[in-house]
Amino acid sequence: MKSSLKVVTTPMCEEIVKIAGISNYIVSKTPDSVEADIAVVLSETELSTKSIKIKLNTFSQIKQGVEMLSGMFGTTPLDYKIKDTAGSKKNKNRKIKVKVYSNFLKEIVEDMGFSVVDKNYNFVVFPDYMKNAITDGDIGSVEIPSHKNVPLNAIKRAEMRYNILEKKLCMKH
């Protein structure tokens, strides 16, 4: 693929497109409405046009997205920093058992090294749009902002979610 293609991306993916070194692109909340050769969108986005779907929930997914896009478009990624989630903290986190109420949060919780379980859990993690449906009472519950209540920048969005989980799950256990 060449960078001379007309690329459209959503606001949620723009930062990754930029970091991947793609400079000629259009940002649109509705990529299908823009005349372009290819769209770069979140993995769950349904489109009728040709698209590259990326996941941006975890730091490793962000890194993979940048590498994949720069490889496909033959560009050099910009210098960027993301948190390293590997290491000894991950092993300590395995002792903490977490029930998770969404796939995107499950990916983050697992990336941080916590044990995802359905029974005998220490914490419940759920997206803000499920707030009224969670009835786990006395168990420590952690509400995580979803798409509408987070930064558009994928790295800042991930950092915010990781920081909330780190503060609520690690500090109390």
- Condensed to tens digits (0 to 9), the pLDDT of residues 98-156 reads 999 999 999 999 999 999 999 999 999 999 988 877 766 556 889 999 877 889 999 99
Contacts 24+ apart (CB under 8 A), 133-142: 134/101, 136/99, 139/99, 140/168, 140/169, 140/172, 142/168, 142/169
Contact 49, 36 (CB under 8 A): yes
pLDDT at 171 over 70: no
pLDDT at 29 over 60: yes
Cα 77 versus chain centre, distance: 19
Q: Which residue(s) pair with 123 in the sheet?
A: 98, 140
How do the domains of the chain map onto residue ranges? Answer: 7-73, 88-170
The reported pTM is 0.86
Closest by CA position to 126, among listed 164, 91, 83? 164
